Amino acid sequence: MRGSLTGKILEEHIVEGKLSPGEEVLIRVDQVLTQDATGTMAWLQFEAIGVPKVRVPLVVSYVDHNTLQTDFRNPDDHLFLRTAAAKYGAIFSPPGNGICHQLHLERFASPGTVLLGSDSHTPTAGGVGALAIGVGGSDVAIAMAGMPYGLKVPEVVRIFLTGRLRRPWVMAMDVVLELLRRLTVKGGVGKILEYCGPGVSDLSVTERATIANMGAELGATTSVFPSDERTRAFLEAQGRGDAWRPLKAEEEAEYSDEVRIDLGELQPLVARPHSPDDVVPVRELEGLRIDQVAIGSCTNSSYQNLKAVAAVLRGRRVGCDLAINPGSRQVLYMLAREGDLADIISSGARLLEPACGPCIGMGYAPPSGGVSLRSYNRNFRGRCGTPSAEVYLANPLTCAVSALRGALTDPRGSGMVLHWPEEPKKFPSDAVIFLPPSEDPESVKVMRGPNIRPVPLGKPLEGTIRGEVLLKLGDDVSTDDILPAGAYVLPLRSNVQEISKFTFSRIDPSFPERARKAGGFVVAGRNYGQGSSREHAAIAPMFLGVRAVIAKSFARIHRSNLINWGILPLEFERDEDYEAVGQGDALELREVLKGIEEGQIQAVLADGRHLRLRAQLTERERKLLRAGGLLAYAKEKLT
Ligand code: MIC
Ligand code: SF4
């Protein structure tokens, strides 16, 4: 990593530790973002730590995931977040402003800074050269309280870009779909993807942001682009030229690996159900009938993207349902001012509020067995709200052209002529409303509706853990599988007892009751917990009595969330031990406190068979587990 962009930013931020892969370092955090769905827990934890004011230069609390306000619970959450931000020193972004990552890129993200966010797509800010990391709610809570962030130093992989995208039909989305095709959803685990090469200057900041955003689907810790003249132009157009600084890797920088992509060779790609890495050329599926199309989300909702989409729709009619969720009020305002909105509306498309919307199953679910084409980043089964639906992911123009025909279409064959929109020289920065923190915080009362319940604490690790194997799962289990989101479940994010009733509800609705009765273990294959940063996927199982998860391997954010909530993440040393365990088996972990020091845990099944399980934990992680999780540990440390 020596000489790399990542290495430079980390060196400027290191507080303790050594920068070698696998080691843990503590780094200083410059900016924090929270969003409503993870934010209520994060802010409740911040309060529980008992620090009167945030101790990070910039904290922004966004509301974008659940803006439906279907009953008192959701607006109560919003009011809690708004008053907490005012009192504790954060900027508040009210519902309707837009999606946190797009807004943060527009208004706050800066080259060379470290941004921590309680959302897995926080790396979007890597588009301007920030080192932006998605983490769980407790990690941001303690960062807001002023403690440095504990990062397991990843390997740095160089993604070397050459050539130029064949615009307009081949888009930034195709770059990251190509990476997913080659590297899979596990390919980035334990890695930071650093972009460089002559192809970088072909990409605008928002195009870079699309690529950095969806690096989350590769499992990467983050993705980062250099800060160059295009970065400067973007920041100046946003009225934030002062935030610019040049930043790039040294010529002789060291990397652990390299991937080369010639942008000019790419074609429109599509990810098939139900994984973002099941990628094929659109041409292979040409003509596939679709029921609905959705364009937007934090991946593809920038001004340039939607302006191009509007140009495709101009004077034409959609052949199936189409919904568009712009990334921010700024984007929406520009589309309105320049007349593009009229083209969108007259095409028969539905215009949705600038918010996450259908991406997280908040409305616009496809019909039973329906086919949905989306410019979003995740197509896990059921995430769209309809378990039997099939969701495909493609670039925004593939989506727009396909919406006109009602069938999947390679846009290159459409015969349309389209000029790729220019980058604006000036963005209207006042189109977005941010509420500053109160100047008289003492007078602000934090409002807590009846659905906002206290945060439970994890239990300190015990010497012996007995229980049942409550569930045995395969590879790539996502946090959407562990704890679904969507319009029914999101209003419960501030109420652990209630939300825990939905744990694994799509896989086995009897799980919560069985877990409460017997307590014990979840067993899984590789990449357990991929996807979202929602710590509820750890808190709810902990609350129900899960004491350890035993898997072949873990996704980064979820593994940290488990530890943060006092659940022991253990790995199978041999695949045959995974085969040997069955759902319902009684299992005992012995001498656990000694075992975590040695890295090996004694595990014995009821019939006396032994399993070989690894506990690969850093010193800090062992401390957290012994204390019962991060919150318990932080309280201890700060008081
Ligand atoms: C997602 O895309 O899955 C979410 C919803 O944005 C999550 C956060 C959450 O579950 O609140 C994420 O990506 O971290
Ligand atoms: Fe929102 Fe979807 Fe982006 Fe998550 S992935 S932040 S739900 S738009």
- Which strands, in side-by-side order, build the sheet including 390-394? 279-281, 269-271, 390-394, 371-374, 292-296, 321-325, 350-351
332 shares a domain with 256: no
Which residue out of 240, 412, 534, 556 is catalytically annotated? 534
Q: Cα(534) to centroid of ligand 1, in Å?
A: 6
Predicted pLDDT of residue 638: 72
Q: What is the pLDDT of residue 635?
A: 80
Buried b (16+ CB within 10 A) or exposed e, 621-639: bbebbebbbbbbbbbeeee
Q: 3-state class of 320 per DSSP? A: coil
**Cα 359 to ligand 2 centroid, rounded to whole Å:** 6
* pLDDT at residue 639, as a whole number: 64
Is 622 among the residues known to form the active site? no
CA of 120 to the centre of ligand 1 (A): 6
Provide mean pLDDT across the span 195-200. Answer: 98
Q: How many CB atoms lie within 10 A of CB 274?
A: 17
Does 258 share its domain with 314? no
Task: Name the nearest CA neighbour of 223 among 212, 210, 211, 232.
Answer: 212
* Tally of structural domains, the chain: 3
Q: Is residue 312 part of a domain?
A: yes
590 is catalytic: no
Q: What is the pLDDT of residues 403-453, one digit of tens each?
A: 999 999 999 999 999 999 999 999 998 888 999 999 999 999 999 999 999
Distance CA 274, CA 202 (A): 31
pLDDT (tens digit, 9 = 90+) per residue, 302-347? 999 999 999 999 999 999 999 999 999 999 999 999 999 999 999 9
Assigned domain for 449 exists = no
Compute the distance from residue 532 Cα to the ligand 2 centre, in Å: 9
Written in H, E and C, the secondary structure of 401-454 is HHHHHCECCCHHHCCCCCCCCCCCCCCCHHHCCCECCCCCHHHCCCCCCCCCCC
Of 36, 61, 65, 120, catalytic: 65
Closest of 207, 402, 181 to residue 271, by C-alpha: 181
- Examine the domain organization and report whether 297 and 246 are in the same domain: no
For residues 319 and 385, state if they share a domain: yes
- Catalytic residue list contains 278: no
Give mean pLDDT, residues 274-295.
98
Q: How far, in Å, is the centroid of ligand 1 from the Cα of 111?
A: 24
Final residue of a structural domain among 223, 247, 265: 265
Mean pLDDT to the nearest integer, 197-222: 98
Is 64 a catalytic site residue?
yes
Whose C-alpha lies nearest to ligand 1, atom 9? 534
Residues 259 and 277 in one domain: no
CA of 588 to the centre of ligand 2 (A): 39
Asked if the structure places residue 472 within a domain, the reply is yes
Element spanning 38, H or E? helix 36-49
Nearest to 345 by CA among 377, 371, 314, 373: 314
Task: For 617, list phi and psi in degrees, rounded to 5.
Answer: -125, 145
Residues with CB under 6 A from ligand 2: 65, 99, 119, 121, 297-298, 356, 359-360, 377
Does residue 427 fall inside a structural domain? no
For residue 614, the 8-state DSSP code is E
Look at residue 22 in the predicted model and tell me its pLDDT: 87
Residue 74 beta carbon below 6 angstroms from any ligand 1 atom: no
Q: Which of 417, 437, 454 delimits the end of a domain?
A: 417
Considering every ligand atom shown, identify the ligand nearest to the alpha carbon of residue 481 and give its number: 1
SS3 318: coil
Is there a single domain that holds both residue 221 and residue 295? no
Q: At a CB cut-off of 8 Å and minimum separation 6, what does 579 contact?
A: none
Q: Does the C-beta of 534 come closer than 6 Å to ligand 1?
A: yes
Residue 562 has pLDDT above 80, yes or no: yes
120 CB less than 6 Å from ligand 1?
Answer: yes
pLDDT number for residue 251 = 94
Q: What type of residue sits at position 130?
A: A
Q: Is 288 helix (H, G, I), strand (E, B) or coil?
A: coil
By percentage, how much of the chain surpasses pLDDT 90? Answer: 98
Query: Is 81 within 8 Å of 172 (Cβ atoms)?
Result: no
Mutate to test the pocket of ligand 2, among 33, 38, 65, 557 (most ligand atoms within 8 A of CB): 65
Specify whether 241 is located in the same domain as 329: no
Residue tagged active-site, from 76, 119, 340, 481: 119
121 lines ligand 1 (CB under 6 A): yes
Confidence (pLDDT) at 51: 93
pLDDT in tens, 69-93: 999 999 999 999 999 999 999 999 9
> CA-CA distance, 75 to 23, in Å (whole number)?
43
The answer as to whether 456 is a domain residue is no
Q: Is the pTM of this model over 0.75?
A: yes
Question: Is 451 a member of any domain?
Answer: no
385 shares its domain with 512? no
CATH number where 526 lies:
3.20.19.10
On whether residue 458 sits in a domain, the answer given is: no
* Mean pLDDT over the full length of the chain: 97
Distance 583 CA to ligand 2 centre (A): 33
Q: Are residues 338 and 232 in the same domain?
A: no
Q: Quick check: 98 and 355 in contact, CB under 8 A?
A: yes
**Same domain membership, residue 206 and residue 244:** yes
Across residues 99-124, what is the average pLDDT?
Answer: 98
CA of 480 to the centre of ligand 1 (A): 9
Give the pLDDT score at 371. 98
User: Strand, helix or coil at 149?
Assistant: strand
Ligand 1 center to residue 532 CA distance, Å? 4
Looking at 232, 378, 383, 493, which residue is catalytic? Answer: 378
Tokens matching residue 358: 């259908």
Q: Could you tell me if 344 and 246 lie in one domain?
A: no
pLDDT per residue over 119-140, tens digit each? Answer: 999 999 999 999 999 999 999 9
Ligand 2 atom closest to the CA of 360, numbered from 1: 7
Q: What is the pLDDT of residue 637?
A: 79
434 belongs to a structural domain: no
The answer to whether 182 is a known catalytic residue is no
Give the CATH number of the domain where residue 311 resides: 3.30.499.10
Q: Please say if the pLDDT value at position 554 is more than 70.
A: yes
Pocket probe for ligand 1: among 532, 556, 557, 558, the residue whose CB has the most ligand atoms within 8 Å is 532
Ligand 1 near 83 CB (within 6 A): no
CA distances, 282 to each of 272, 384, 397, 502 (Å): 10, 21, 12, 36
Catalytic residue (one of 30, 36, 61, 64): 64
Q: Which of 402, 532, 553, 560 is catalytic?
A: 532
Q: Which atom of ligand 1 is nearest to the CA of 35?
A: 11
- 201 is an active site residue: no
Query: Domain boundary at 265, 286, 304, which?
Result: 265
Four-residue CA torsion sign, 87, 445, 51, 115 = negative
Q: What does the block give as tokens for 344?
A: 């969108």
- Residue 551 sits in which domain range? 465-638
Q: What is the mean pLDDT of residues 162-188?
A: 98
Nearest CA to ligand 1 atom 1: 532
**Are 490 and 404 in a shared domain?**
no
